[in-house]
Chain A
Amino acid sequence: MSRGGRYWVLAVGIAAVGGALAWAFLSMPGFGGGFHPYRDAAVAAALRHSTANVVSSVNFDQRGFDTLGEETILLASVVGVAVLLRPLPGERHRHGRQGGHVLGTTRMLVVVAVPLTLVLGIDVVAHGAVTPGGGFQGGVVAATALHLIYVGDRYRVFARLRPIGLFEQAEAAGVVAYAAVGVAGLAFGGSWLANILPHGTLARLVSAGTVPLLNAAVGLAVAGSVVVLLSHFLDQRFLSPPPGTRHAPGDGTQP
């Protein structure tokens, strides 16, 4: 289809869908209103299980199976990217220096920021049930710490601190741990992912039953996933193309 034809098709679609959406939005409850039946039930349920962070209660307790599914999606994408970006016959890893110049202050900043970021990540995971944050957020922050080393132009150090096999196993272990808590719920509580541990006191570090455990499992899986995922993309930069292709080495996306 020509560009013009495509824009006409799109314009008709947008006109129809946009009109219908606008009309439908008119009958939605007004913005900022107080009609939230699920919220009322979810907040009460969170308090029953002594979970201070209601979002975590929804994610890890009330709708914990969504989170298992989501972990699995993350795992599938990591495996998928590993398959898609595998070195093909003829492509070899080049172990060269990174190009470009990095300021001394940047390196300095990285040295300071790496341990802080790592601790922050672990803290966010640990307090998932009581303060904003949780396994996802903390896991991503922890993985970021490792990649700060890369920013600081320490690819060799970075590569040594990043044994991919270990991170792959951490990721798989995180998902298995999540499922194991689910099975324990079935064995001792009669249904999958039942919150079987004592709930403790609201807003204490150890409270909310299985929520902190599930947070830790997710934190492990997410940190592992992000590191492995990014490693595949970073490695693309260090792949030499098989002889005979036209594009410049290291130019993953530009023709």
Chain B
Amino acid sequence: MTHDQMANALLPAVVVAPIVVACLLLALGRRLDRPTIDVVAIATSAAVATADGVLLSAAGNHRLVAWLGGWRPQHGASVGIVFVGDQVGVGAALVAGVLMTCALAYSWRYFENIHVNFHALMLLFLAGLTGFSLSGDLFNMFVFFELMGVAAYALTAVKVEDPTAVHGALNFGVINSLGAYISLMGIGMLYAATGQLNLALLSRALTARGPDVLVVVGFVAVATGFLVKAAAVPFHFWLDDAHAVAPTPVCVLFSGIMVELGLYGVARLYWVAFSGTLEAGTIQRLFVVLGVVTAVVGSVMCLLQRHLKRLLAFSTIAHTGMFLIAVGSLNPVATAGTAVYVVGHAAVKSVLFLCAGVLLNRFGSVDEFTLQGKGRDARLTGIVFMLAGLGLAGMPPFAVGLGKVMAEEGVVRAGLWWGPVLFLLVAAATGGAVLRVGARVFLGIGRGPGAEEAGAMSGDEEKRELATGMTRLPVTMGIPLTALLAAGAIVGLLPGFGDQAALAAGRFAGRAGYVAAVLDGTTSYGASPAASAGWSVEGIVLCLASVGAAALVALLGLYGTALPRQILAVLRTARPALHMMRSVHSGHIGDYAAWLLFGVGGIIVLAMLPP
């Protein structure tokens, strides 16, 4: 099979296959027993992941281009939809496939009362994630964005008997849809300006047109929908609500890949369609400001939580902030670092969520204080949880650490000298919060809740996810847990992984190459500068520093109330600010809608200020 034939067959197949299997499951579902459904769904997802792997290795040599419906460009234009696979796009699809396989394996005995529908929704969700990663057409991206959304809203509220679940899902649905509609307004404006929907054609038309107000506002509008998915502050409110209430295996996909795909969408849009038009300095300022606000709000809120899943959700927001800064620095090494970081983050964050699910099913709570000391006999879960917490803080050899070091190097090269300091603080805060919970739950150490924690949302309301209780860790849960943790470490140790990521990021940011591959059929990457990125002594020291800082944060969280009175009095002065930040997260849909529009306004102002 030639290269071209493979791209034509396989790129759309990884999207269509899960859709068809979902349909077949729905049509035959009543006649199938539960293990069969589980096996079919896991096998489909694993097959998609395998195909993604094949595509990834092929995408290392050439860009993969598939014109759907056979509408290949004539005279440099086409009316069709194109799928494009480069290493970053296919890599994102692969992460989605692997996480979905693990999540489905983990949910082996989950939700027996809704039989086949849960699996069908998961497979449709996978189709949405994969389609969004591969599409090279703006409106087609919107379609898959919505598919992701619709499946995700339903999956969030699978536990309908839980009052918080339906509330969180509604907030999620309304805010995401609103973001998507603002995106669609932007698509309409760009269509009016250029008459194109294909990213490559759009790129050509925009470069010829130059950066006028219409182009800037169009970019911001389209990016808004993606930034809502990426949970940039102040578009992030849906995320902590949805993550806190969604079933654990679903959280794995939300935090591991869906949020990151929002960021991927913005980066793809900028690099392919707008990098020849918009002022780089303006874009850098926009994303760095957004990223810093997101990282700070996420970290502080993460430290304040006692609801474990909500804590992990805010940690994802904090990490999104770092990703925004790194991608927004527009430096290829920083982009490569983000890619590595996202892979590592997906692994360890998934492990943490799955551990939270194990605790929930065993003890009926995800509350830090309710669970204090309860996990002493859950050795394996405890060890895995603590290792993942260390990984989240950047412990070598986890890929998180490698990605963080690369991203730090990149942002410094882009002139953001303060980047590494902020990254260290965020890693310390989020990793420290996780370690604090781990120590309290699995070791039973630490003091009781202080005044601030007592007022936080408790994790006792959360409903169990298995029909029957469980006392020990089932194999179907243990395997995904350990496999993901091992993957997070092995990927960080793969020789040449950093180099490949740097190469891929350079290609991802190559506008001309993408346009030529889509419109002229020259799919080879051309010569790219040799890139080297990997572990260094300096990097390992930086990583260990952030792990140490995380341990300190954890200790402060456990024994902070034992500090001398004077220090506590100083700390107490921050309480009104913290209280305000907490009260902004009100769970009120009207507030969220107002913040959404406020945020769009803020971004537009940032984009329009003179450089």
A interface vs B, CB < 8 Å?
Answer: 1, 6-7, 9-10, 12-17, 20-21, 23-24, 26-29, 35-39, 41-42, 45, 58, 61-66, 68-70, 72-73, 75-77, 79-84, 86, 88-89, 165, 168-169, 171-173, 175-176, 179, 182-183, 185-186, 189-195
Contact = CB atoms under 8 A, between A and B. Distances in A.
B480 to A, nearest CB: 23
Contacts of A82: 117
A66 B143 contact: yes
Interface stretch (B14-22, B50-58, B284-292, B471-479): B14-22
Contacts of A23: 213, 217
Interface stretch (B361-369, B527-535, B598-606): B598-606
A69 B12 contact: no
Given A13-B601, A20-B217, 18 more contacts: A1-B588, A6-B591, A16-B602, A27-B193, A28-B214, A29-B193, A36-B195, A38-B79, A41-B77, A45-B71, A66-B139, A73-B146, A73-B150, A79-B26, A79-B121, A176-B20, A176-B24, A191-B69
B154 interface: yes
Given A84-B157, A179-B16, A73 B598 contact: no
Nearest to B125: A76
B307 to A, nearest CB: 21
Contacts, number: 229
A74 B337 CA distance: 37
Given A16-B604, A64-B68, A185-B69, A6 B594 contact: yes
A191 B9 CA distance: 7
A192 B69 contact: yes
- Which of B26, B27, B79, B594 gathers the greatest number of chain A CB atoms within 10 Å? B79
A225 B24 CA distance: 15
Contacts of B12: 65, 182, 186, 192
A20 B583 contact: no
B131 interface: yes
Nearest to A43: B79
Contacts of B163: none
15 contacts: A1-B584, A6-B590, A13-B597, A17-B604, A35-B195, A37-B77, A38-B191, A39-B195, A62-B69, A65-B69, A75-B124, A80-B154, A169-B27, A172-B26, A176-B24
Contact of B604 (A20, A65, A75): A20
B158 interface: yes
B118 interface: yes
Nearest to B234: A9
B251 interface: no
A37 B151 CA distance: 35
Contacts of A27: 193, 212-214
Interface of B: 5, 8-9, 12-13, 16, 19-20, 22-24, 26-27, 30, 66-71, 77-81, 113-114, 117-118, 120-121, 124-125, 127-128, 131, 139-140, 143-144, 146-147, 150-151, 153-155, 157-158, 160-161, 166, 189, 191-197, 212-214, 216-218, 220, 583-584, 586, 588, 590-591, 593-602, 604-605, 608
B218 A83 contact: no
Contacts of A63: 69, 79-81, 139-140
Nearest to B583: A1
Contacts of A77: 150, 154
A98 B611 CA distance: 67
A45 B69 CA distance: 12
Contacts of A193: 68-70
Contacts of A192: 8-9, 12-13, 16, 66, 68-69
Nearest to A82: B117
Residue among B144, B157, B192 with most chain A CB within 10 A: B192
Contacts of B595: 9, 13
A39 B196 CA distance: 10
Given A10-B598, A69-B147, A83 B121 contact: yes
A79 B78 CA distance: 35
Contacts of B193: 27-29
Contacts of A89: 161
B416 to A, nearest CB: 26
Contacts of A185: 69-70
Contacts of B67: 191
A66 B79 CA distance: 13
A37 B197 CA distance: 11
Contacts of B66: 191-192
Contacts of B27: 168-169, 172-173, 176
Nearest to A18: B601
Best-buried of A6, A70, A76, A185 by chain B (most CB within 10 Å): A76
Contacts of B598: 9-10, 12-13
B126 to A, nearest CB: 11
A80 B195 contact: no
A100 to B, nearest CB: 29
Contacts of B196: 37-38
B140 A10 contact: no
A128 B158 CA distance: 37
Contacts of A195: 69-70
B144, B150, B583, B600: residue with the most chain A Cβ atoms closer than 10 Å? B150
Contacts of A64: 68-69, 81
A9 B594 CA distance: 6
Contacts of B69: 61-65, 185, 191-195
A89 to B, nearest CB: 8
Nearest to B602: A16
Contacts of A183: 16
